[in-house]
Structures are given as structure tokens and as C-alpha cells.
């Protein structure tokens, strides 16, 4: 196949347009760099392409999306767990991998839960002796979190002051929306149990900012927001980058490898144009991988040359290693108090208004790391699966049919609450992705093989989640749904990858023998190569990743811009 | 944003025809497009035979009948949703088709005629034996499994329809100003 080479040499080539890529593009273009961005999927515009205000009854499946749209037919994220022609394989253990394929990547998928890490989250080894400390401290990260809060917009409150939890630092917050009724009921029970329930931190606007109007509370953030009132890379990061006139976006460009010169420096990226199935090469002075944690690791491992026989930036052998996902499990409960609650529009923002930050003292518990709890309930939009399994609902007639059943459906609507735990996995070298020696995707690019298992650290944490959620439901006067899974079922712990918080596959560190990137997310082995997604994370934290991916990308991009100014890149 | 601007925005959002505001890029929400196209024309059945469809409709309206507040399952088009989803989900096809045959066999065993030919009291006699999983006799297990699955589909179809949404009193999925739950809700829950 003939390779089509771009005549132009860009200052920076960014692979990926999601949280990390979008942030990097904004900061670099505003600093004067001429940037080209490769995106594996199609272009997408929140203003015109979202399914805002669509009804489930307008879809023949009533919202069910099948394999192509696993989070519902109107979900704003293109991609999925199983993408035709783009397989992955599993070696030891189990793993699931959700991939976004569109401009903005998985920022279209996430719940806008924007929890900045706390001081402890950067130094877990110093606290419990497990994993490693980050080469960056909270104090070094704080200015970038603050910039992000101010620029993107996020609601929340000062947890540290409210709860005394020092690992929940303050931010630059817009006022949070008032809690929903079921959230207040949960809080009342948790207050008695000394479990903190505080306003959540979502990057959804309650006040207008930077020309973006405040939320209109349709509750369907996951479809993409036509008014740009929530965060996505497309709504927030890419417009200012495009406005500089210095950002070129190449869509449908599936990156194959980072190209390298005789001097061992990156020279650009080769990619397949998925529409014409032709191979192209983009040339750039600096390459930033922001393709998502595992895709960036895959790119490095596939970038083999005589200079770098084990893959690029992999002299340590650590690329792909220390792969983590958040732990996760959910428990729902039937709460009789909520039966026959007068109806009100409980949509609010597209996510919880209250949540539970990690409150436990791990030194006094049998497991080392914590979790936060995402709260659900209320009068959701009826759709596919509505009131499924009503024959199992506590206090119901146990199934049946006819007028009494119809009335039962009405009564039980809104009478459930849900608790989803999202916790920290301890990073281990033996959780990793590697290149499968036998399998390529439809573009001929070798695919990843995953090896991932949980340890007792995670299993015991899951047990604690189960017991806690069930006791909160009981304290509310309710009945937990389903029996608690036992140790042979990992206490209900979701398979790795299912929470879509992959991190660590190109981790940072001060020692080039045990890490891929230095403290500026710059490859130890290749100074003009950076990573700006979840890959650099040294540990997960009991918080969602996105806010830290972006704060870190912002910091990386500023460092990169400084180095360019000094002429060292 | 000032109050006036905020109101203006809500007005714009509230009056703009959604269909005109939404367009789709390649691969996006294809079923949504199909649904809009389908809304203009009668549903074309994809899976069930005429006879199977008639039985599904009879069962659906026994599960969710018309009452003073709203119509029946078939009034809402739930049977069309069931046909569509069974066509889309191959794993449901044999259990659903086999369940319908099981039901006819059971009716023939008891009354020497198929379900559709049975009188209402006869139909109910069979349903009473398969509609309550925890109480059902073990020899009814296959019928129980079929009916449980069908009940869930009928419920999803009915309650997610426009008729069902109105009956439930779901008032969201539209621009609004968020002020938290109204006082009567807080009072009912003892939160006021």
C-alpha cells in the first residue's frame, strides 16, 4: 500500500480528541502551537447531533440500543464494548473494554462526575505501603484543577469544611442544584449512620459561563447537550482551540504507530483513513498520545523499530503494566416510604445531586483503599425494561395480571433507590495489556490482549460496599433487592474494565526503570513524546478520573509549551 | 445569565420543533431515524405470525387492561414493540414462540381448544397458574417463565408509550427551572 505523507510538519500531533486530547489542544493552540489532531471516529457536534428531548416512544425499541448503542439508542457516545472489526482478546482473568469512536471520545459517555483527587491520592504508598506515590503532589496539581473548575464550570461545595474529610479538597464551584426527594431520604438515613452525604460535583452548569448557558434540567446529559451546558470536549475544549485557527482535526483517522527518526525522536504518526482505507503519515515535531489509556499503550507497543524493539518508550518494559479500573458494584432497594409519592419532575441535572465521598478509615478496616457512592432513584423517563421483574418486588402481589397489576406499576414507580460504589483498585504489575501475537483488527493493526484480576484488597472493599448499601436501605425502612453475592462471586464486583475508568498503562515516575513517563508525562526514552490520558496515572483514587486526566493534560501542555518556547522541543 | 435571557432561552428551547433541531451523523441513533420514518406509516410486523400476534394481543390486554385512567396495552401499541424487540433479540425468539405453543397445549389439555378459542374464565384459569412465580406448581414452570417474560415486555411497551408516560405522570425531558421537589412531596415524605 502506498503511504500518503503530509508535506506539512506540524508543531504537535495529538492522537485523540477526548478529555486529554481536547485539553491539550486548547492549551497548546492558545500558546501558539500549530496542532493537528487525529480522531479515529467521525466528526460530531453537540449542537446538531444530540438526541436532546427525544422520547423513548419515538424509538421502536423504546430506548434499547443493542450492541451498537449499549447505553441506549439516544446515548451520545458512538463506539461500544464490541466494535465490528476492532476486537481485543483476554489472556488471564477477565476484562471488558468500552471504546469511544467520535470527535470528543468518551467525554460524551461519562456522567460528568468531576471529583478532583485529594492530597492522599498522590501518595498512597507513603500511607499504606502499596503501589507507588505519584511524582506529582496535590499542591502541584491544585492550580490546574482550579483553572479547570473555572474554565469548564462545575457545581459543588467545600466537602472538607462540611465533613472534615481532608482528602476532599475545595474547588472553584458554582452553586449545586437542590437535592431530589429520594436523595434527602437517603441523607436522613445516612446522617443517623454517620455517613456523609454531600452535594455532588458535576461539570454541568448551574450558572452561565464563557458564553455557555446554564443547564435547562432535562436530565439527559448522556445524549449530548445541544446548548453546551454540560462538559464534553466538543462543547468546551475544541471550540477555543479551533478559534485560534491553529487546530486541524483529521477525523476517521485510526492511528497505527508513532514514527521515529534515526535520532530516536518521534517524527509523527502513521494512520489509516478508515473511509478510504489508505495509509497516511502526519509529521510533527512533538507527539502527544491521548487516545485513551489502553489505546495509547497499544500505539507505543505497536511502534517497534530497531531502536525500540520492545515498542516505543518501553525500555522499562512497563508499557501496558499497572493497568487498573475502578471497582464497581450496585445495590438497589425498595423503599415503602416512597410508594405513592406525589409526582414531580425529578430530572434535574443528568446525574446525582448528592453523593457519598469516601468516609472510612482504611487503617481500621480490612482493606487499603476507599470508594465513593453514586446515588440513584426518582421518577426516571419510562423506557425499555421499565419495572422489569415486578413479580419480585417486595410487598407486591408477586406477579399477576389485570387491573390490580396495572395499579401496582403506578404505585412502585419512583419507589426505588440505587447505590453504585466506585472504588480504588491497588495497581499491580501483573494486571496488564500486551499485544496479542495472533490477532489484528480490520485495519491490520495488532490488537490488545488483557490480563486482569482482582485481589483481596478489592474483594474486601466490595464486601464493605455490599454491607454498607444494604444497611443504608434497611435504615431507610426499605428492602435491598436480591441476596448479597458471596466471596465465590467476588461479592458482586464488576469485571475489570466495566466501570470504564482504565488507568496506569503508561505510568509516570521518577525512575526510568519502573515508569514510562516522567513527572511531566514526557516519555523518559523519547523527549518529544507525551501521554495525556488516563495512562500516566500511578494510582486510581476513589474518585472518577476525568477531572485529573484534564488537569494533568493542562499541566503537561503548559510544560510542553514552555519547553517549545525555550527551544528544547 | 440574566433572568430575561434565561427565560428567552427556555422559550426558544420549548418552542423549537425537536425534529428540526436534531440531525444525525453517520452511525448515530439509526433506530431513532427509523422510528421517525415509521411514525408516519402503520407498523409492519417483523416476527410473529397473525395467529401468534392475536394471542400476544389478547394476553397483553389481560396483563394491562383499559381502566379509568388510560387505555390497554394494545391501545398503546405495546404489541408492536414486543414484535419489534423479539425480532431484534434472537435470544427471545424461541422462548417466546415456544411459550405461545406451550400455552395453547395447556389450554387444549384442559379445555380441548387453543387459548384464543377459550372463554375468558378458562383463559384466567390457566393464567392464574402461571402468573405468580412464587406460588406456581413446579409442573407449570415453563408457562411461568414465558408469562413472566411476556409481562415484563408488555409493561415496558405500555409504560414507555406516550399513553403510559402520561398515565405515570412523568413530566420531565423538557426544559425547566430546577427548584427541587415541591412542598407537598417533602411533606408526604416527612422531609419538610
pLDDT digits (tens), chain B, 192 positions: 333 333 333 333 333 333 333 333 334 444 555 555 555 678 999 999 999 999 999 999 999 999 999 999 999 999 999 999 999 999 999 999 999 999 999 999 999 999 999 999 999 999 999 999 999 999 999 999 999 999 999 999 999 999 999 999 999 999 999 999 999 999 999 998
What confidence score (pLDDT) does residue A68 get? 85
Q: Which residue is listed with cell 526514552?
A: A525
Chain A residue at shortest CA distance from B18: A53
Chain B residue at shortest CA distance from A220: B173
Q: How far apart are CA A422 and CA A358, in angstroms?
A: 10
H helices present in chain B, as ranges: 3-15, 18-21, 30-39, 50-63, 78-88, 90-111, 120-130, 141-159, 162-168, 183-188
Find, among B34, B14, B16, the residue nearest to B24 by Cα: B34
Q: How far apart are CA A284 and CA A286, in angstroms?
A: 5
Q: How far apart are CA A157 and CA A239, in angstroms?
A: 28
What confidence score (pLDDT) does residue B21 get? 31
A and B: number of Cβ contacts within 8 A: 237
**Taking the CA of residue B31 as centre, how many other CA atoms within 13 Å lie in the half-sphere pointing to its CB?**
24
CA angle A212, A289, A308 (to 5 degrees): 175
Q: Which three cell numbers stand for residue B41?
A: 406509516
Please indicate if any CB of chain B lies within 8 Å of the CB of A183.
Answer: no
Inter-residue contact A120 to A139 (CB < 8 Å): no
Q: Which three cell numbers stand for residue A403?
A: 387491573
**Domains delineated in chain A:** 1-47+65-112+115-153+231-326+429-454+502-569 (3.50.50.60)
What confidence score (pLDDT) does residue B39 get? 59
Please indicate if any CB of chain B lies within 8 Å of the CB of A61.
Answer: yes
Pairing of strands A354-356, A371-377: antiparallel
Chain A residue at shortest CA distance from B150: A388
Write out chain A residues lying below 8 Å of B36, CB-based: 58
CA angle A37, A40, A44 (to 5 degrees): 80
Distances (CA, A) of B174 to A90, A97, A220, B20, B163: 43, 33, 9, 16, 17
What confidence score (pLDDT) does residue B37 get? 58
* Cβ separation B156–A385 shorter than 8 A: yes
Q: How far apart are CA A565 and CA A21, in angstroms?
A: 21
Give how far B47 is from chain A: nearest CA, Å.
Answer: 14
Residue of B83, B159, B183 best to disrupt the A interface, most CBs of A under 10 A: B159
The H or E element that residue A405 is part of is helix A403-412
Q: What is the DSSP string of B146-159?
A: HHHHHHHHHHHHHH
Question: Counting Cβ atoms within 10 Å, is residue A422 exposed (0-12), middle (13-18) or buried (19+)?
Answer: buried
Residues in chain B: 192
* Cβ separation A388–B132 shorter than 8 A: no
Q: What is the DSSP string of A406-438?
A: HHHHHHHTT-EEEEEEEEPPPP-TTSEEEEEEE
Q: Which three cell numbers stand for residue A393?
A: 418486588
**Distance between terminal CA atoms of chain A?**
32
Domain segments of chain B: what residues? 1-41, 45-192
* Cβ separation A184–B169 shorter than 8 A: no
DSSP A364: G
Chain A residue at shortest CA distance from B1: A208
Pairing of strands A35-38, A247-250: parallel
Provide the chain B residues 111-150 that lie in CB contact (below 8 A) with chain A: 127, 131-135, 147-148
What confidence score (pLDDT) does residue B19 get? 32
Distances (CA, A) of A389 to A398, A412, A547, B74, B153: 9, 12, 37, 21, 10
Q: Going edge to edge, which strands form the sheet with A446-452?
A: A89-93, A446-452, A432-440
Residues lower than pLDDT 70 in chain A: 1
Distances (CA, A) of A68 to A75, A123, A294, B160: 10, 40, 21, 21
**Taking the CA of residue A365 as centre, how many other CA atoms within 13 Å lie in the half-sphere pointing to its CB?**
22
Inter-residue contact B82 to B154 (CB < 8 Å): yes
**Taking the CA of residue A400 as centre, how many other CA atoms within 13 Å lie in the half-sphere pointing to its CB?**
13
Residue of B7, B24, B25, B36 best to disrupt the A interface, most CBs of A under 10 A: B25
Amino acid at each position: 500500500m502506498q503511504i500518503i505523507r503530509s508535506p506539512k510538519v506540524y508543531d504537535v500531533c495529538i492522537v485523540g480528541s477526548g478529555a486529554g486530547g481536547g485539553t491539550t489542544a486548547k492549551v497548546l493552540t492558545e500558546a501558539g502551537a500549530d496542532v493537528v489532531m487525529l480522531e479515529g471516529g467521525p466528526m460530531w457536534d453537540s449542537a446538531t447531533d444530540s438526541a436532546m428531548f427525544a422520547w423513548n416512544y419515538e424509538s421502536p425499541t423504546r430506548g434499547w440500543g443493542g450492541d451498537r448503542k449499549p447505553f441506549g439508542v439516544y446515548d451520545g457516545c458512538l463506539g461500544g464494548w464490541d466494535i465490528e472489526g476492532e476486537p481485543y482478546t483476554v489472556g488471564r482473568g477477565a476484562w471488558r473494554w468500552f471504546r469511544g469512536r467520535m470527535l470528543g471520545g468518551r467525554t460524551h459517555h461519562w456522567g460528568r462526575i468531576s471529583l478532583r483527587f485529594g492530597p492522599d491520592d498522590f501518595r498512597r504508598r507513603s500511607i499504606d505501603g502499596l503501589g507507588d506515590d505519584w511524582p506529582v503532589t496535590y499542591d502541584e496539581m491544585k492550580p490546574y484543577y482550579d483553572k479547570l473548575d473555572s474554565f469548564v464550570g462545575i457545581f459543588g461545595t467545600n466537602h472538607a469544611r462540611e465533613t472534615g474529610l481532608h482528602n476532599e479538597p475545595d474547588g472553584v464551584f458554582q452553586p449545586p442544584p437542590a437535592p431530589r426527594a429520594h436523595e434527602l431520604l437517603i441523607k436522613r438515613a445516612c446522617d443517623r449512620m454517620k455517613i456523609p452525604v454531600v452535594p455532588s460535583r458535576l461539570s454541568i452548569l448551574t450558572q452561565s459561563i464563557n458564553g455557555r448557558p446554564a443547564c435547562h434540567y432535562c436530565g439527559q446529559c448522556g445524549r449530548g447537550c445541544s446548548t453546551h451546558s454540560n462538559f464534553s470536549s466538543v462543547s468546551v475544549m475544541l471550540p477555543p482551540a479551533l478559534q485560534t485557527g491553529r487546530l486541524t482535526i483529521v477525523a476517521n483517522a485510526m492511528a497505527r504507530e508513532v514514527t521515529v527518526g534515526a535520532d530516536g525522536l518521534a517524527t509523527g504518526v502513521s494512520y489509516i483513513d478508515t473511509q478510504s482505507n489508505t495509509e497516511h503519515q502526519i509529521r510533527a515535531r512533538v507527539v502527544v498520545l491521548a487516545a485513551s489509556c489502553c489505546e495509547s499503550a497499544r500505539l507505543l507497543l505497536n511502534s517497534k523499530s530497531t531502536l525500540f524493539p520492545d515498542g516505543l518508550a518501553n525500555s522499562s518494559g512497563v508499557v501496558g503494566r499497572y493497568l487498573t479500573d475502578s471497582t464497581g458494584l450496585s445495590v438497589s432497594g425498595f423503599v415503602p416510604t416512597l410508594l405513592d409519592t406525589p409526582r414531580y419532575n425529578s430530572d434535574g441535572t443528568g446525574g446525582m445531586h448528592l453523593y457519598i465521598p469516601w468516609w472510612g478509615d482504611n487503617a481500621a478496616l480490612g482493606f487499603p483503599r476507599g470508594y465513593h457512592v453514586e446515588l440513584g432513584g426518582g421518577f426516571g423517563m419510562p423506557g425499555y425494561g421499565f419495572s422489569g421483574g415486578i413479580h419480585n418486588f417486595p410487598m407486591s402481589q408477586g406477579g399477576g395480571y389485570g387491573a390490580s397489576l396495572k395499579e401496582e406499576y403506578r404505585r412502585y414507580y419512583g419507589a426505588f433507590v440505587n447505590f453504585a460504589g466506585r472504588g480504588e483498585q491497588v495497581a499491580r504489575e501483573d494486571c496488564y495489556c500486551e499485544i496479542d501475537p495472533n490477532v489484528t483488527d480490520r485495519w491490520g493493526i495488532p490488537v490488545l490482549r488483557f490480563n486482569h484480576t482482582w485481589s483481596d484488597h478489592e474483594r474486601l472493599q466490595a464486601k464493605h460496599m455490599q454491607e454498607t448499601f444494604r444497611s443504608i436501605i434497611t435504615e431507610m425502612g426499605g428492602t435491598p433487592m436480591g441476596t448479597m453475592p458471596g466471596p465465590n462471586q467476588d461479592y458482586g464486583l464488576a469485571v475489570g474494565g466495566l466501570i470504564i475508568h482504565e488507568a496506569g498503562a503508561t505510568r509516570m515516575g521518577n525512575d526510568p526503570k519502573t515508569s514510562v513517563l516522567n513527572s511531566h508525562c514526557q516519555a523518559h526514552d523519547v523527549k518529544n513524546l507525551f501521554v495525556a490520558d488516563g495512562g500516566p496515572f500511578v494510582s486510581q483514587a476513589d474518585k472518577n478520573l476525568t477531572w485529573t486526566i484534564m488537569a494533568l493534560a493542562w499541566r503537561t501542555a503548559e510544560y510542553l509549551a514552555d519547553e517549545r518556547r525555550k527551544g528544547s522541543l | 445569565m440574566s433572568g430575561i435571557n434565561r427565560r428567552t432561552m427556555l422559550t426558544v428551547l420549548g418552542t423549537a420543533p425537536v425534529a428540526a433541531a436534531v440531525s444525525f451523523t453517520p452511525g448515530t441513533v439509526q433506530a431513532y431515524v427509523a422510528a421517525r420514518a415509521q411514525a408516519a406509516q402503520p407498523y409492519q410486523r417483523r416476527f410473529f405470525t397473525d395467529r401468534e400476534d392475536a394471542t400476544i394481543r389478547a394476553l397483553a390486554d389481560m396483563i394491562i387492561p383499559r381502566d379509568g385512567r388510560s387505555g390497554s396495552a394494545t391501545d398503546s401499541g405495546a404489541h408492536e414493540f414486543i414484535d419489534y424487540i423479539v425480532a431484534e433479540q434472537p435470544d427471545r425468539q424461541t422462548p417466546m414462540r415456544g411459550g405461545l405453543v406451550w400455552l395453547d397445549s395447556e389450554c387444549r389439555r384442559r379445555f380441548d381448544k387453543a387459548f384464543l378459542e377459550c372463554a375468558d374464565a378458562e383463559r384466567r384459569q390457566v393464567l392464574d397458574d402461571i402468573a405468580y412465580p412464587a406460588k406456581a406448581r413446579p409442573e407449570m414452570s415453563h408457562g411461568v417463565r414465558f408469562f413472566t417474560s411476556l409481562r415484563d415486555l408488555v409493561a415496558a411497551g405500555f409504560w414507555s408509550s406516550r399513553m403510559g408516560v402520561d398515565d405515570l405522570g412523568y413530566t420531565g425531558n423538557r426544559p425547566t427551572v430546577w427548584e427541587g421537589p415541591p412542598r407537598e412531596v417533602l411533606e408526604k415524605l416527612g422531609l419538610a
